Structure 1
Amino acid sequence: MHYSSKSTDIYQELTIIANQNNLSVPAAHNSLFKSSDITRDYINQLYINQLGNEIAVKRPADETCRYCEDFHLKHLKKIDKYADISLGKKLEDCFQEFIVKKLKPYGVDIECLRADSEKKNMPDFKIVRKGDQKILMYFEFKAIFRPFLTIEHKINKQYECYSNSLTLDLSNGKKLLTQRQFVEKDLGVDDVFYVYWYDLPCVKGIYWLSSKTVYEIMDIQAPYDRNYTPGDYNNSGEKIGSTNKLYLPLLKMADLGTFIRRIYNWYFNK
């Protein structure tokens, strides 16, 4: 399992772009898109020092934890599928811009383009080398800014709110299952990744898993169907929200610096 000591600094560059775009995130906690010295402490304690572990240490139960629990229980996010899609598009735009700008000074001339517009069930994005239009990788992109505070009680007693709140939808028209079949048959599991923009009051950054690891987890983890809310339905009463989910492990994920390094290496060697 790999991580980069520069990931927190690199993540701050992404948050600058996010803040410049004045993103309006519903029920946003007070340190969203803001890193500090305490962020590094949490990343060391809750991520780096545990990388590869099967069981996460208990959350610190410190002042940050108390704030996080109090805030998120008092400010429950109203699920609005259409608003979520709009915000998601803005976050994707930020990440696309960041990836291209970050690598450009190192002689990496790439495009980060939508791939899902080409064919249904494709991953969200592809990284393309401009010179010869070689596709270097594909990735699905998710954003999680609030923890599942009761995850150890409702899902698995070995899960912690910071370690397994990275969700993946299972009930959105069987998209994940169909996408998996397409990835395994046509794209190849070694070239497809699941990337998370993860910003809690404690752990912050970009974290990612190979599709091979995601599908292995998919085969063994019992999915959880969360409670339905009014925002899961459109005006016609049709259910549009995805409530059946997988909960992926932060401690099996690589970080932003390693993602940048992967693109850099594949740009010159693939």
Structure 2
Amino acid sequence: MENYRESFSLYRQLVSFGNGRQGLLGIVGQPHDTQFYPDQKSGGYYKQLFIDQVGILDNKKLRNPPNDATCQNCKGHFLGNRPKIDHQNDLKIGTYLEQHFMQFMNEQFNLRSWPFVCERADTERLNMPDFKITDTETGSIVLYFEFKCIFKPFIMVGRKIDNTHCYSHSMTLDGDDKLNKQKQLVYHNGIKDKTVYIYWYDIPCVKGVFWQFCDYVFDYRARAETYSRVRQDGDYRSGRQVGHVDKIYLPLHQMKHFQELLFYLEKNLCVSHR
């Protein structure tokens, strides 16, 4: 996996894009010391905790967290600062990050002279994937994707679900009826082979963009142990529950890296323009 270096470089470009790190820090609450700062040490974690463990099937074989200064600072920061849930603010942050990611992807397409555009997908059927990438020359949609951002590790996940670690199992996904509806729509519309889940993952140790096909996610949901987090005041608005509390945690070592996403898109470009 020599191209992991390109993936880490792409992530560096993502966080420096547009208004850069300061712009991102200005919108994202509760930043940690290394937030959006993928330095050489982060590259080491990326290799040791992700690349070197890609494809491991037995979670018992995963490395334990290094328990170094980064780990200690992470625990001190996140266990000592637990803000109340505010879904309205989360939506505001999410919108900013979505725009940042879309614009970055479109710049990458322009740099490569690819006739692709990344844009919002169906805004009416809200359980459909968030975004789509369209070939502007053929009019065909080459990819749909759900977009998630994870900036806070689930430090206590190992106490809730056996053989999991904070760095490897913090890619949370709502595992309730929302996911079931999305699966039905994806299958009904015949787009399961070109629908993926993309994660912008920036915790104190591991940083990058990771993704997987929806079939993997749906299969994992069927066999994974779920965790129901404690309900909080922010989960309710006007007496109605608006927050999702039933979660699954996708394993980092089963995800694909950023460069593989571009490889996949390039392959589709070659096929559609033969």
Normalising by structure 2, report the TM-score.
0.92
Give the C-alpha shift of residue 182 in structure 1: 1.7
Alignment match of 1:193 (pick from 185, 192, 196):
196
Q: Distance in 1 between matches of 2:131 and 2:191?
A: 15
Residues 147-186 of structure 1: pairs in structure 2 closer than 5 A: 147-154=153-160, 156-171=161-176, 174-186=177-189
**Corresponding residue number in structure 2 for 1:129:** 135
Residues 96-111 of structure 1: pairs in structure 2 closer than 5 A: 96-111=102-117
Alignment match of 1:88 (pick from 87, 94, 97):
94
Are 2:77 and 1:71 aligned?
yes
Q: Distance in 1 between matches of 2:200 and 2:84?
A: 20
Asked if 2 retains the 8 angstrom alpha-carbon contact of 1:136 and 1:191, the reply is yes
Q: Distance in 2 between matches of 1:53 and 1:165?
A: 17
Give the C-alpha shift of residue 189 in structure 1: 2.1
Are 2:230 and 1:227 aligned?
yes
Q: Distance in 1 between matches of 2:126 and 2:239?
A: 25
Q: Distance in 1 between matches of 2:3 and 2:257?
A: 6
Q: Distance in 2 between matches of 1:170 and 1:134?
A: 30
Alignment match of 2:248 (pick from 243, 246, 259):
246
Q: CA RMSD in A?
A: 1.6
| Aligned residue type for 1:245 | K
Give the C-alpha shift of residue 224 in structure 1: 1.1
Asked if 1 retains the 8 angstrom alpha-carbon contact of 2:109 and 2:117, the reply is no
| Aligned residue type for 2:178 | K
Are 2:145 and 1:142 aligned?
no
SS in 2 for 1:21: helix
Give the C-alpha shift of residue 127 in structure 1: 0.2
Between stretches 112-121 and 141-150, larger displacement belongs to: 112-121
SS in 2 for 1:5: helix
| Number of residue pairs the alignment of both structures matches | 266
Which sections of structure 1, spanning at least 5 residues, go unmatched? none
SS in 2 for 1:88: helix
| Aligned residue type for 1:99 | M
**Corresponding residue number in structure 2 for 1:6:** 6
Q: Distance in 2 between matches of 1:145 and 1:223?
A: 20
Q: Distance in 2 between matches of 1:193 and 1:159?
A: 23
| Aligned residue type for 1:52 | G
Asked if 2 retains the 8 angstrom alpha-carbon contact of 1:2 and 1:258, the reply is no
| Aligned residue type for 1:29 | H
Q: Distance in 1 between matches of 2:47 and 2:126?
A: 39
Larger relative contact order, structure 1 or 2 (CA cutoff 8 Å, min sep 6): 1
- Note closer, same or farther for the CA distance 1:118–1:230 as it changes in structure 2 (3 Å cut): closer
Asked if 2 retains the 8 angstrom alpha-carbon contact of 1:103 and 1:260, the reply is no
**Corresponding residue number in structure 2 for 1:41:** 44
Are 2:118 and 1:112 aligned?
yes
**Corresponding residue number in structure 1 for 2:23:** 21
- Note closer, same or farther for the CA distance 1:20–1:111 as it changes in structure 2 (3 Å cut): farther
Q: Tell me the alpha carbon deviations over residues 26-83 of structure 1, each in whole angstroms, 9 at most, x when there is no partner.
A: 1111111111100111011100000011312111101100000111011113210000
Q: Distance in 2 between matches of 1:132 and 1:110?
A: 10
Normalising by structure 1, report the TM-score.
0.94
